[in-house]
Amino acid sequence: MKEAKYTIGLDFGSDSVRALVVNVETGEEMATAVCNYPRWMKGEFCIPHDNQFRQHPLDYIEAMTDVVTRSLAEAGDDIRKNVIGIGVDTTGSTPVPVDADGTPLALKPEFAENPNAMFHLWKDHTSVKEAAEINAINADSDEDYLKYVGGIYSSEWFWAKIAHTNRQDASIRDAAYTWVEHCDWIPFLLTGGNKAEDVKRGVCAVGHKALWHKDYNGVPPKSFLTKIDSSFADFKTELLEETATADQSVGTLSEEWAAKLGLDQSVCVAVGAFDCHMGAVGGEIEPGYMSKVIGTSTCDIMVAPLEEKEHLVKGICGQVNGSVIPGMLGLEAGQSAFGDVYAWFKRLLLWPVENLSDELKEKYAEEVDSKIIPALADAAAAIEPTAKDNVSLDWMNGRRTPDANQELKGVLAGINLGTDAPRIFKSLVEATCFGARRIAERFEDEGVAIKGVIALGGVAKKSTFVMQTLSDVLQMPIKVGKSDQTCALGAAMFAATAAGRFEKVEDAMKQMGGGFDKTYEPNPARAEVYNALYKKYCELGEAVEKITMK
State pLDDT tens for residues 98-115: 999 999 999 999 999 999
For the CA atoms of 54, 60, 66, 71, the dihedral, rounded to the nearest 10 degrees, stands at 110
**234 pLDDT higher than 70:** yes
Return the exposure string of 366-380: e unless at least 16 CB atoms fall within 10 Å of the residue's CB, then b.
eebeeebbeebbebb
20: β partners: 9, 32
Phi-psi region of 394 (alpha: psi -120 to 50; beta: other; left: phi over 0): alpha
Q: With 70 as the cut, is the pLDDT of residue 38 above it?
A: yes
pLDDT at position 163 is 98
Domains 6-283+483-514 and 339-481+518-548 equal at CATH topology level? yes
pLDDT value at residue 359 = 87
- Strand 119-120 and strand 29-36: pairing? unpaired
* CA–CA gap between residue 166 and residue 163 (Å, rounded): 5
466: left (phi over 0), alpha (psi -120 to 50) or beta: alpha
Partners of residue 87 on adjacent β-strands: 9
* Residues forming beta bridges with residue 86, ordered by sequence position: 8, 269
Provide Rg for the chain, Cα atoms.
23
Q: How far apart are CA 528 and CA 440, in angstroms?
A: 18
Kindly list the distances between the CA atom of residue 288 and the CA atoms of 208, 323, 451, 545, in Å, as whole numbers in the listed order. 20, 17, 6, 31
- The Cα–Cα gap between 319 and 186 comes to 24
Quick one: pLDDT at residue 309?
80
Q: Which pLDDT score is estimated for 2?
A: 67
Domain spans of the chain?
6-283+483-514, 339-481+518-548
pLDDT band per the 50, 70, 90 thresholds, residue 307:
confident
Residue 85 has pLDDT above 80, yes or no: yes
Q: Mind listing the pLDDT tens digit for each residue in 331-347?
A: 999 999 999 999 999 99
Q: Residue 121 pLDDT > 60, yes or no? A: yes
CATH of domain 6-283+483-514: 3.30.420.40
- The CATH number of the structural domain formed by 339-481+518-548 is 3.30.420.40
Query: 471 and 477 in contact (C-beta within 8 Å)?
Result: yes
In contact, 187 and 278? CB cutoff 8 Å: no
Cβ–Cβ under 8 Å, residues 245 and 203:
yes
Q: Which residues contact 185 (CB under 8 A, 6 or more apart)?
A: 57, 96, 98, 102, 104, 199
Alpha helices in 274-317, H assignment, sequence order? 275-282
What is the number of other CB atoms lying within 10 angstroms of the CB of residue 285?
A: 25
Cβ count near 289 (within 10 Å): 20
The pLDDT, as a whole number, for residue 188 is 98
Q: Rounded CA gap, 548 and 194, in Å?
A: 47
Query: Above 90 in pLDDT, residue 1?
Result: no
- Three-point CA angle 227, 229, 233, nearest 5°: 85
Please answer whether residues 253 and 502 qualify as being in contact, where contact means their C-beta atoms are separated by less than 8 angstroms. no
